[in-house]
Structure 1
Amino acid sequence: MSKTQSITIPDEVVMSKMYIIRNQKIMLDEDLAELYGVETRRLNEQVRRNKDRFPEDFMFQLDETEFSDLKSQNATSSWGGRRKLPNAFTEHGVLMLSSVLNSKQAIKVNIQIMRIYTRIREMLLKHKDIFIKVEQFEKQMMKQDEKIELLFNYLSKFIEKDEQPRTRIGFRTEKEE
C-alpha cells in the first residue's frame, strides 16, 4: 500500500468508539488517535498547543469515576497504563480536531465521523414519534400496574377474611345446638 493510499475504517468500528458521558456523545483521545493513525500523546499535544479551540463543551477530561465506569462497561483493562485521565471530545471537539491535525488520514476519518454523527441525529429525529409513543405506552403501563397491584391487595384482603371461621346464622337443628 502506498503512502498516498489511506486506510478505510468500517463505520461500525468508528461507532463502537462513541460513548455517552455527561449526556453527550463523546469519543476518547486514544480512540481518535488510533483512528487518525497518530500517537495519543501527539494528539493531546496538538490540543494543548491550540487550547483556545477546545472549550469545555468541545472537550473535557474524564474524572476517576467516569473513567472507571467506562472501563468496567467495556470489560477491558487496556487503558490501565495511562498516567493521565483521558480527554473526551464531543462532536464539536472532534470537528475542531480536523483543524489541528493535518494528515490526510485524520481529515478523511474526521469526515467519516461527522457523517456518522449526522446519520445518528437524523435517525433519532426520524424515529422521534416512535420514542414518544413508547414513552406514552410506558406511562400507561405504569398506571395499569398500579391498578393491578390495588386489585391484588383487595383480593388478598378477601382471602384473609375467608380463612377466619364464620359464625353461622339462620335455623339450627337440635343436633347442631
Structure 2
Amino acid sequence: MQIIKSIQSRIYEVRGERVMLDFDLAFLYEVETRVLNQAVKRNSKRFPDDFMFRLTAKEWEAIRSQLVLGYEDTVNPSSQFVMMNIPSNRTGKYLPYAFTEQGVAMLSGVLNSDKAISMNIAIMRAFVDVRRILIKQIDVKDKLDEIVERVGEHDIQLHHLYQAMENLIDEKVAKKSWDERERIGFKTKNK
C-alpha cells in the first residue's frame, strides 16, 4: 500500500492528462533516466503523442514547484523509497518526458526486468485508484450541487414565508391603528 501511495504522489495532471515523469519512472524501475529514455527512443513507434510527450519549460517549472512539496509530504524515510534528487538541470532539449497511463503500460513491453514488470503492475493499480478517487469526487460534487439547489429552493420558500408574515404583521398594525384612531363626527357622553 505504501508503494501505491508513493506512486500516486508521482502522478501529475498535465494538459488534461494524468501522467508520470521519466525520472520518476526510472527511479521506480531502478534504472537511470537516460537508460529509460534510450529504450523509449529505440521503440519510438510504440509511443505516439497521446502516450508520451515532452513537457514545455512552463509545465516543467510548475511541476518542479509541486515536486518539492509533494515528496516532503509523502515520502516516509523508513520506506524503501527515499527522497530523490529532483532534476534541476532539465532545460531546453532536456526537459522531462511525461508518460500517460497508456505510455506507462507500453513501457512494460520495452523494459523487461522483473523489477520493471512488478513496478508496472503497481503503477497500473495506482492509476486505477486515482481514477476511482476522481469518480467518487464527481459523485460527491453532483450530490453537493443537488443539495445547493434544494437549499436555494428552500431559500425562496422561506423568503415567501417571511414576506407573508410581514404582510400579516403590517395588517395587524394597520387594524390596531384603525381601531385606535380618533373618531370624528358627533361625540356623546355616555356617563
Instruction: Please say whether Structure 1 and Structure 2 have the same fold, judged by a TM-score greater than 0.5.
Output: yes
Larger helix percent:
2
Which residue in 1 is equivalent to 2:19?
A: 26
1:113 alignment partner, one of 115, 118, 123: 123
1:124 matches 2:117: no
Residue segments in structure 1 that go unaligned for 5+ positions in a row: 1-7, 145-177
1:103 matches 2:113: yes
DSSP 3-state at the match of 2:39: helix
Which residue in 2 is equivalent to 1:172?
A: none
* TM-superposed deviation, 1:88: 0.1
1:44 alignment partner, one of 28, 37, 41: 37
Cα distance change on mapping 1:34 and 1:132 into 2, 3 Å:
same
Q: Percent identity?
A: 43
2:60 alignment partner, one of 57, 67, 75: 67
Cα separation, 2, equivalents of 1:68 and 1:139: 40
Cα separation, 1, equivalents of 2:49 and 2:150: 40
Which residue in 1 is equivalent to 2:88?
A: 80
TM-score when normalising by structure 2 = 0.63
**Structure 2: which amino acid aligns with 1:98?**
S
Cα separation, 1, equivalents of 2:45 and 2:66: 32
DSSP 3-state at the match of 2:88: coil
Cα distance change on mapping 1:72 and 1:128 into 2, 3 Å:
closer
Cα distance change on mapping 1:139 and 1:106 into 2, 3 Å:
farther
* TM-superposed deviation, 1:102: 0.6
Contact residue 5 and residue 126 of structure 2 kept, 8 A: no
**Structure 1: which amino acid aligns with 2:135?**
L
2:51 alignment partner, one of 42, 46, 58: 58
Residue segments in structure 2 that go unaligned for 5+ positions in a row: 70-84, 156-191
- Whose radius of gyration is greater, 1 or 2? 2
Residue-pair matches, total: 137
* TM-superposed deviation, 1:9: 6.3
* TM-superposed deviation, 1:90: 0.3
Contact residue 67 and residue 86 of structure 2 kept, 8 A: no
RMSD, aligned CA: 2.7
Higher relative contact order (CA 8 A, sep 6+): 2
**Structure 2: which amino acid aligns with 1:36?**
Y
Cα distance change on mapping 1:41 and 1:125 into 2, 3 Å:
same
* TM-superposed deviation, 1:64: 0.5
Cα separation, 2, equivalents of 1:70 and 1:136: 34
**Structure 2: which amino acid aligns with 1:102?**
N
